Amino acid sequence: MVRGSDQEQQLDQLRSGQLHWFKDWPNAEASSARAGVYTVWDTEGRLVYVGMWGRGIALNAPPKLSTRLASHAAGRRSGDQFCVYVADRLVLPSLTTEQIADIGSGRVQLDTLVRAYIRDRLAYRFIAAEDGKQAYEVEDAIKRGALGERPMLNPALNRN
């Protein structure tokens, strides 16, 4: 388990470390760590999402952060829960009746609008973790509010 100052340093990096904009994807820095956590922020500085990579990795498995962030940057909803959340919670409420009709008729692809939203308005920070267990613990702490707010799209669910 990550304790004390180690976790505080990680949380500080995920709160205020270097921002990388999805519009600048790909990011060569995002391919070196085998496990870690990332936070996604909007242009107004709100925490939108937290994710992790490296759960159950094999010793010879390639890092997956670059794969995960590439999927997010592409904006395709199929197979990417983050893109589904962005579509449902951030893009759909902003659409006009005409845009919805264009999507329904096939003139516009919703994934194209999701990609544009992600690339125009979202950025991420990331940290490496020792392993998937540590990454999960940090991700869970953030979902519960360890950064002073819970992520808009995937906060921890209240467990009864």
> pLDDT tens digit string along 4-46?
578 899 999 999 999 999 999 998 887 677 889 999 999 999 9
Return the higher-pLDDT residue of 62 and 93.
Answer: 93
Expressed as residue numbers, the domain containing 104 is 4-143
State the greatest distance between any 2 C-alpha atoms of the chain, in Å, as a whole number.
Answer: 54
Does some domain include residue 22?
Answer: yes
pLDDT at 23: 96
Does some domain include residue 151?
Answer: no
Instruction: Count up the domains in the chain and report the number.
Output: 1
pLDDT tens for 54-85 read 876 555 565 578 888 999 999 999 999 999 99
Does some domain include residue 156?
Answer: no
Does some domain include residue 108?
Answer: yes
Does some domain include residue 160?
Answer: no
Q: What whole-number distance in Å separates Cα of residue 99 and Cα of residue 35?
A: 39
pTM: 0.90
